[in-house]
Amino acid sequence: MYDEYQTICQQQQVAEENIQRGLAEMLDTVGTITFFDRPFGDKYYILNPDWLTTGAYQIILSNHTNQKRGRINAQDLKIIFTERLLFEYKPSDYQFLLDVMAEFNLCHEFNKHEWLIPSSLEGQSKTDLVAFKAQDYRLYCLKYTTSLPSSVIHRFIARNVKHAYEEDYWRNGIVVKHPDSDTLMFVEADAKDKEIRLWIKGERIRDCWEFFHKDFKDFSEKFDYEQLVMLPQGDNISYQFLIEAWESGEESVFISKKTGKVNVIEALGLFEIPQYKGGIHRKDSEHIAPIFKKTPITLMAFASNGLAEIQTEANNVYKAISKSVLVTAQKIEDTTVENLADAMLDYGEELLLFHFGGHSEQSHVVLEGLQKMDKIRFSRLLIPDDKHPVPIVFLNGCLSSGHVGILTAKGVKAIIATNAKVNDVEAARLANYFYRWFFEKNATLRKAFENAEATVSSNSDSSNRGLGTDRTATNGHNSFIVTVNPGEIDDKQSMPASWTLFVHSGHTKMLDWTLQDFVNEFNK
């Protein structure tokens, strides 16, 4: 300990503190001692180098450390040091040894009194990467300019062991699960290529990237690296390249003959969607104007009440919307008055589209537990502030056209609703294809609706989405687009079609708008 060294100095009539430190630094330079010129645990240390090396090696090479797959705690240290060694180590020495090891990236603390020893991790993943990539995925890459410091991946593993999927982490990587979804990310470092690659699959790919990417930013602050994402055609595109294109005012950039041109905003959206309180930032934190003033939100609410296809609809619709880089998808299952009201408080002013899937009638919708909500209260819940009406509403239940009048009167511009008792399977199918065309294929509102309607058959009479005594869905089906004045459709009127796209008479131009057009209008 340094205080023992000071006592020896004083016995030798070396009393001045600056001379004591100078002697310690000189002896450290020639290798006689090891002197740490900054405190560990509020103390300065002067050590026999062999004592330090032996203690560190004992922790790293212990059979117990290997058996614990490099993940040890304070209790494990007592076991590790039960073996007779050349030097004596007291429990009070353990923390110091680990602090010194952490200084040289030989261990990383991931919880209080829990440490990860990277050199004791297994060499390979338990997950088959080929099988992992058999499903749709997106590949991100962090490419380092000079070399890839092993500390970056090891610190990432240590920090995210709690998110490890099925305890799968190894010397060069980890498989993690997004905390708010089933989205998985396979992370692996390649020192030879100076890259960390991140394969992500699931419904919330961008959310998963943003959640874990912040750790890599923390650990790579001192290193030069480039962020890349692989486009569907196979080309990689750089985040910094896109930022520079955006600053130059370019709306699209040419990538290659295979990929052609890509939209700069959409490509940036693969990395992040700027929130309304901020914008995209460079690595050096220089602020760049946000691409969007707000991040539009699509809210989906589902209430099954015995409808077999509601879960299928919920999964497919959420998947289609989540693939868009222009909006954020939010989903409520088992919708009640309370959780719908909470969602509207959270997202009301940012809503671009609201989707409901479940039982309904002309006068009401049916929430979870067969809880009926009349259309007046329902409209108030959806649009509590007439200044911020949601532009698009899709009511995918039976006879929902009875809600059109009150919703258009409150400012909703486009509503997909039904004029008959509709089949559960066909309702789920139509919703799936509408959102795939509108969100994935960038079709116009008109084209997305027409293409989705073409998938509806006329040969099914199974369960429908109404709660009346007549449980038979209509066999015949027609679908068309209707322009309405605010308040024009009520529950006493009938239309000849099963599904209809109702458009506010003052906003018929929106029929030929794509999702991008709606987002642009939303942010004016």
Alpha carbons 60 and 181: distance in angstroms, whole number: 35
Together in a domain, 339 and 220 = no
For 146-151, the CB contacts below 8 A with 24+ separation are: 146/194, 146/223, 146/224, 147/191, 147/194, 148/189, 148/190, 148/191, 148/194, 148/195, 148/196, 149/223, 150/105, 150/118, 150/189, 150/191, 151/105, 151/219
Tell me the residue range of the domain where 199 lies.
Answer: 129-230
Rounded to the nearest 5 degrees, what angle is found at the Cα of 455, between the Cα atoms of 452 and 457? 135
135 and 201 part of one domain: yes
- Mean pLDDT score, 401-407: 95
Residue 264 inside a domain? The answer is yes
CATH code assigned at 106:
1.10.10.2200
- Can you give the CATH number for the domain in which 364 is found? 3.40.50.1460
Q: What is the DSSP letter of 291?
A: S
Note whether 300 and 439 are within 8 A (CB). no
* Amino acid identity for residue 393 in this structure: V
E strands present in 313-434: 328-332, 351-358, 364-367, 371-374, 392-396, 414-418
Q: How far is CA 29 from the centre of its chain?
A: 49
Is residue 511 situated within a structural domain? yes
Q: How far is CA 455 from CA 314, 320, 432, in A?
A: 18, 17, 10
pLDDT at 367: 96
Paired sense of beta strands 184-190 and 236-238, if any: unpaired
In this structure, is residue 464 part of a structural domain?
A: no
146 shares its domain with 15: no
What are the E-state strand segments in 212-332?
A: 225-230, 236-238, 252-256, 260-263, 297-303, 328-332
**Domain shared by 323 and 447, yes or no:** yes
Residue 505's pLDDT band (cuts 50, 70, 90): very high
**Would you give the DSSP letter of residue 368?**
T
**109-146, pLDDT tens digit by residue?**
878 888 888 878 888 899 999 999 988 899 999 999 99
Q: How far is CA 152 from the centre of its chain?
A: 21
At residue 293, the pLDDT reads 44
- Does 107 share its domain with 59? yes
Tell me, yes or no, whether 329 and 377 share the same domain: yes
Q: What is the rounded CA–CA span in Å between residue 31 and residue 133?
A: 52
Count of other CB atoms within 10 angstroms of residue 459 = 7
What are the pLDDT digits (tens) for 56-65?
888 888 899 8
Query: pLDDT tens for residues 409-455?
Result: 999 999 999 998 999 999 999 999 999 999 988 899 999 999 999 98
Q: End of a domain among 86, 120, 154?
A: 120
The HSE-up count of residue 86 (CA atoms within 13 Å, CB side) is 11
Q: Tell me the backbone φ, ψ of residue 355, rounded to 5 degrees.
A: -120, 130
SS (H, E, C) 77-104: HHHHCCCCCCCCCCHHHHHHHHHHHHHC
CB-facing half-sphere around the CA of 105: CA atoms within 13 A? 10
Higher-pLDDT residue of 459 and 287 is: 459
Mean pLDDT of 363-392: 92
Place of tokens 């960038």: 442
Q: Where do we find the tokens 């919880």?
A: 111
Other beta carbons within 10 Å of 464: 26
Is residue 466 in some structural domain? no
Residue 200 lies in a domain: yes
462 is a domain residue:
no
Domain presence at residue 315: yes
* Ramachandran region, residue 194 (left: φ > 0; alpha: ψ -120 to 50; beta: rest): left
Same domain, yes or no, for 222 and 245? Answer: no
What does the pLDDT read at residue 46? 52
In a domain, 290, yes or no: no
In the three-class reduction of DSSP (H, G, I as helix; E, B as strand; rest coil), residue 178 is classed as: coil
Do 242 and 226 belong to one domain? Answer: no
pLDDT classification of 226: cutoffs 50, 70, 90:
very high
Say if residues 59 and 117 touch (Cβ distance below 8 Å). Answer: yes
CATH of the domain at 213: 3.30.310.200
> CA 145, CA 157: separation in Å to the nearest integer?
22
pLDDT at 323: 81
Is residue 497 domain-shared with residue 415, that is, in the same domain? yes
Decide which of 120, 155, 177 is a domain's last residue. Answer: 120
Residue 1 has pLDDT above 70, yes or no: no
Position 267 confidence tier, pLDDT thresholds 50, 70, 90: confident
End-of-domain residue from the set 99, 120, 141 = 120
- Structural domains counted in the chain: 4
Residue 334 and residue 440 share a domain: yes
Q: Percent of the chain having pLDDT more than 70?
A: 80
SS3 of 226, please?
strand
Kindly state whether residues 254 and 314 are assigned to the same domain: no
Same domain, 483 and 360: yes
Do 405 and 489 contact (CB within 8 A), yes or no? yes
Over the stretch 172-217, which tens digit does the pLDDT of each residue have? 999 999 998 999 999 999 999 999 999 999 988 998 999 999 999 9
The answer on pLDDT for 356 being more than 50 is: yes
User: Is this prediction's pTM over 0.75?
Assistant: no
Q: Give the total residue count for the chain.
A: 524
